[in-house]
Amino acid sequence: MTKGRPYLDSITALRGLAALGVVFFHVRIFLWVGWNEIQANPQNYTAFDHFASWFSIPTPFLGEGVLLFFVISGFCIHYPQAGHLNKLNLRNYVCRRFFRIYPPFAITVGCSILAVLFLPWGDVSKEPWLPSLLLIQNYLPDTNSQVSSNMSLWSISTEVEFYLAYPFLLLIWRKWGVVQSINIFAAVSMIAIGLYFMGLKSFAFCSLTFYIMWWAGAALAELYAKGELAKPSISYVFLALACLMTGVIAQVQGHKLVMVQRLLFGGFFIVLLWFLVAYRDSISLRTSFVGRALLLLGEISYSLYLIHYPLLQVIGHIWVERFGSKPANFFIPVGFSFLAVLLACVFYHVIEKPFHRIAKLIT
């Protein structure tokens, strides 16, 4: 993560699992008839279809993995500066963030526009490609104006807002310290969420609503770098599980509680990251096949997140055109999810990784 500091394999693996979870969340839209359909019309489906459908139970909640990305991002962005007062090298910071994030994103926007051509309802002339390239699609021309073949791209714009704010927020951090700055950022999030409930729906995708999660990740990096990160007590573990369970309940209640469920899932992810960082010496991932696979998944997680949505949408359309309906067997969309992982590996090595090298060369 930064020269002279230990690389945290557990964070890389967790990032990969978060990306895969988002893929499982989205693949149901395009390549599965759905749990409700199978349960409502059992006579139309085989016993194996019913059996396979039970494996889908966690997937409606895996979309919250985006929040885990935000917590991990706060940790990773602050980690190089954590624990000391060295001045942020703004040039290096901007160059690294730009080349690591924007060129693959811009190429993905282009690929997503091309994907629209394969969809019968698509109209390229109406796609908000320019707001997407300018990273303002969360606000203009309308709230959440994403390219229709890649609705996942909203979080990239939110992430970039964090990057732009970090140099300024770092000043607050160093002036008031960990605890007080976290209180400030929590207040900012609560105000933003309040404005959302007052009718300003653009705050649904604004980074301000996620500050508490992002900066909680940064706080973990600060405490870890200083050697002050204690292992979470059993009470925090129970608190995390309570957040997870109530977050699930809030999500089941519908979209009206979306901000509540985000806070609850975010709380769970903060403690989860805390646990993994605190116990990093007890976790070995490079000595097993599964561990190495998780590290590979984490390495390509950004590419996987970028390309999976249009890929699965186009495959889903082709499947319906060929077979007349979406698959009833849940293991079929799972298989296509792993196809997305394979293609993300290609995207990573051909597109993303070369820009990583450029970022290193110029910094």
Residue 219 lies in a domain: yes
Q: What is the mean pLDDT of the chain?
A: 93
What is the pLDDT, as a whole number, of residue 286? 84
**Tokens in use for 52?**
């396979």
**Greater pLDDT, 286 or 292:** 292
Average pLDDT over every residue of 180-192: 91
Cα separation values, 151 from 26, 53, 116, 317, Å: 10, 25, 12, 16
Unique residue bearing structure tokens 């839209």: 29
- Domain for residue 4, yes or no? no
Overall domain count for the chain:
1
Query: For every residue of the chain, which 3-state class applies, written as one string?
Result: CCCCCCCCHHHHHHHHHHHHHHHHHHHHHHHCCCHHHHHHCHHHCCHHHHHHHHHHCCHHHHHHHHHHHHHHHHHHHHHHHCCCCCCCCHHHHHHHHHHHHHHHHHHHHHHHHHHHCCCCCCCHHHCCHHHHHCCCCCCCCCCCCCCCCCHHHHHHHHHHHHHHHHHHHHHHHHHHHHHHHHHHHHHHHHHHHHHHHCCCHHHHCCHHHHHHHHHHHHHHHHHHHCCCCCCCCHHHHHHHHHHHHHHHHHHHCCHHHHHHHHHHHHHHHHHHHHHHHHCHHHCCCCCCHHHHHHHHHHHCHHHHHHHHHHHHHHHHHHHHHHHCCCCCCCHHHHHHHHHHHHHHHHHHHHHHHHHHHHHHHHC
Mean pLDDT over 264-271 rounds to 97
Banded model confidence at residue 180, pLDDT cuts 50, 70, 90: confident
Instruction: Please give the pLDDT value at position 3.
Output: 53
Residue 26 lies in a domain: yes
Contact 74, 214 (CB under 8 A): yes
* pLDDT band for position 174 (cuts 50, 70, 90): confident
Comparing 179 with 213, the larger pLDDT belongs to 213
Q: Is residue 285 part of a domain?
A: yes
pLDDT digits (tens, 9 = 90+) for 23-71: 999 999 999 999 999 999 999 999 999 999 999 999 999 999 999 999 9
> Once rounded to an integer, what is the mean pLDDT over residues 158-175?
92
Tell whether 146 is covered by a domain: yes
Within 10 Å of residue 96's Cβ, how many Cβ atoms?
A: 20
In a domain, 2, yes or no: no
In a domain, 62, yes or no: yes
pLDDT at 1 over 90: no
Give the mean model confidence (pLDDT) for residues 296-303: 97
Q: What is the dihedral of CA 213, 215, 221, 227, to 10 degrees?
A: -110
| Distance of alpha carbon 310 from alpha carbon 30, whole angstroms | 10
Q: Which domain holds residue 28?
A: 9-362
Residues near 95 by beta carbon (within 8 Å), at least 6 away in sequence = 359, 362, 363
> In this predicted model, what pLDDT tens digit does every residue of 92-134 receive, in sequence order?
999 999 999 999 999 999 999 999 999 988 889 999 999 999 9
112 exposure class (CB count in 10 Å sphere: 0-12, 13-18, 19+): buried
Q: Is the pLDDT of residue 196 over 60?
A: yes
Is 3 among the domain residues? no
Please give the pLDDT value at position 2: 53
